[in-house]
Amino acid sequence: RWSTSPTRKMATIKDIFAVIKGREEPDRYVILGNHRDAWTYGAVDPNSGTAALLDVARRLGIMLRSGWTPRRTIILCSWDAEEFGMIGSTEWVEENLGDLQSKAVAYLNVDCAVQGMGLFAGSTPQLDKLLIDVTRQVKDPDVEGKTVHDTWSTMNGGINIERLARTDSDFAPFLHHAGIPCVDLYYGKEFPGYHTALDSYIWMEKHGDPLFLRHLAITEIWGLLALRLANDLVLPFDYHTYASQLQEHTNVLADRMNNSQSVSVINGFINDLSSAATEVQKEAKELKLLDIHDGRGLIRRRLLNDRLLLAERSFLHAEGLQGRTWYKHLMYSPPEDYESELSFFPGIADAISRRGNQSTR
């Protein structure tokens, strides 16, 4: 027989931040985050990610002491109370929503940095190309003479970047509520000791990452992503990839809905996005060639970067999803029914699920 008597009490939680103020654009934020609370020993969840965050901070500190400063502000976040429902990150996003929606470039999340072999990543689609490019610069931790990109591209039949329509880590409030582009990184698909006493340093040292080289790879990918987003003259966002991904989603939806008229309307909007992405790409190429000190060029770059930064916010619905108003992202909020076959277009997924539930009564 087993019984438990949980203690209920109010407690104060503490988020911790380190801010590196940007030189040219201090009011634009590149945010990195990991939570530090654990159910048990937490060697995988979350301390593998916490170790990586501290190493990123250490490396940025070395660069600062050498005289470097980023173009845009970098914010390092250590979240509290993630295991109780992403409370630390969610409260901070809600409290600073207006500021973040006008100034945040991206949120880069690492939770369980290492829980086995193989890189796994999720992102909003405009960051796919940047993520892939960065992995070409990092040594693979398990195969000598190869890059992370080399092994990632051969794993499971090719590179597969997940879309973040889940609510199990701190990217959720940034994407689903605030509409901020996000990345989530980790090594190893699953960890059998998740949230148990097996999540220990002994397991990590013997099985998870004996030489701690996977930790090193995640740290380098995470840090390089932050540096590109903080330093590139023109934000490295690719909305052609976004349009292509939305087209794939729409094709799946069309098969389910027998190519109804409503799907044709979505196709029209995707074509508009693709055309706009082409124009932005041309403008970005032109602006990269201009003198970085040219006053008119500075203003044009700022305006283009603002359009790129704010584009993700256009996928938010101010009133939220029907019956779930906190979730506002119309592309990648989680579906109401976690058994839904659709992990995109949550409003449509919810409507299909509700109709199915009504027909079975």
Cis amide bond preceding 46, omega within 30: yes
Provide the β-strand partners of residue 73.
29
| Number of neighbouring beta carbons within 10 Å of residue 16 | 11
Residue by residue, DSSP assigns 41-80 as S-TTTTHHHHHHHHHHHHHHHHHHHTT---SEEEEEEEES
Distance CA 187, CA 44 (A): 10
Q: Give the pLDDT confidence score for residue 160 in this predicted structure.
A: 95
E-strand spans in 201-265?
none
Apex CA 63: angle with CA 289 and CA 57, to 5°?
115
Q: Give the pLDDT confidence score for residue 358 in this predicted structure.
A: 67
Mark whether 82 is an active-site residue. Answer: yes
Distances (CA, A) of 93 to 74, 77, 104, 108, 343: 16, 12, 11, 14, 23
From the list 90, 70, 73, 71, the residue with the least C-alpha distance to 81 is 90
Distance CA 89, CA 91 (A): 6
Average pLDDT for 61-74: 98
From the list 138, 76, 63, the residue with the least C-alpha distance to 107 is 76
pLDDT category, 3, cuts 50, 70, 90? confident
Model pLDDT for residues 4-18, shown as the tens digit of each residue: 777 888 999 999 999
pTM of the predicted model as reported, rounded to 2 decimal places: 0.96
Which helix (DSSP H) or strand (DSSP E) does residue 162 occupy?
strand 161-162
Asked whether residue 361 carries a pLDDT value surpassing 60, the answer given is: no
* Secondary structure (3-state) at 123: strand
Distance CA 297, CA 278 (A): 20
Model pLDDT for residues 135-186, shown as the tens digit of each residue: 999 999 999 999 999 999 999 789 999 999 999 999 999 999 999 999 999 9
Question: Domain 16-231 has what CATH class?
Answer: alpha beta
Q: Give the pLDDT confidence score for residue 359 in this predicted structure.
A: 62
Q: Give the pLDDT confidence score for residue 7 in this predicted structure.
A: 82
Catalytic position from the list 24, 82, 144, 341: 82
Tell me how long the chain is: 361
Domain coordinates in residue numbering, the chain: 16-231, 237-296
**Amino acid at residue number 8:** R
Is-contact 169 86, C-beta < 8 A? yes
Apex CA 328: angle with CA 33 and CA 301, to 5°?
65
pLDDT category, 222, cuts 50, 70, 90? very high
Residue that is written with structure tokens 């109804």 in the block: 260
Q: Give the pLDDT confidence score for residue 157 in this predicted structure.
A: 84
The phi and psi torsions of 252 (rounded to 5 degrees) equal -65, -45
Asked whether residue 62 carries a pLDDT value surpassing 60, the answer given is: yes
Cis amide bond preceding 70, omega within 30: no
Asked whether residue 315 carries a pLDDT value surpassing 80, the answer given is: yes
